[in-house]
Amino acid sequence: MTDNRNIIPAIVLSMIVLFGWQFFVAKPQLDRAQQAQEMAAQQAEQDAALATPTTTANGAVVPAATGAPTYTDRATAIAATQRIQINTADLEGSINLTGARL
């Protein structure tokens, strides 16, 4: 019986630690994560609304609110930018002179 008399206080203290951890540490972290997720979703909705391109009656593309133009097809995009043509035995194409990031 002497070996078992400390079991009940040990169980009670362990439960206090577990519930305290849940209340003071895990719950605030979960709340912050949910708020960050909600803010990210709202930001994504705003970005999607701003990035919607519009076209005029003659088919020209009006740049999106971010300043980057959006084109309807590849040929229009290639024709609208300054490019260097590459034509070798192994490679054929072009490189855009503006907008590259490393």
Please state the domain extents for the chain. 1-50, 55-102
Rounded Cα distance between 23 and 72, Å, is: 53
pTM attached to this predicted model: 0.40
Residue 81's Cβ-count burial label (10 Å; 0-12, 13-18, 19+) is: middle
- Give the pLDDT confidence of 43-96 residue by residue, as tens digits: 888 877 666 666 655 666 655 555 566 777 888 878 888 888 899 999 888 888
CB 51 within 8 A of CB 61: no
- Give the pLDDT confidence of 2-21 residue by residue, as tens digits: 667 888 899 999 999 999 99
Rounded Cα distance between 28 and 33, Å, is: 9
| Confidence at residue 25, expressed as pLDDT on a 0 to 100 scale | 92
| Confidence at residue 18, expressed as pLDDT on a 0 to 100 scale | 94
| Confidence at residue 53, expressed as pLDDT on a 0 to 100 scale | 60
Residue 87's Cβ-count burial label (10 Å; 0-12, 13-18, 19+) is: exposed
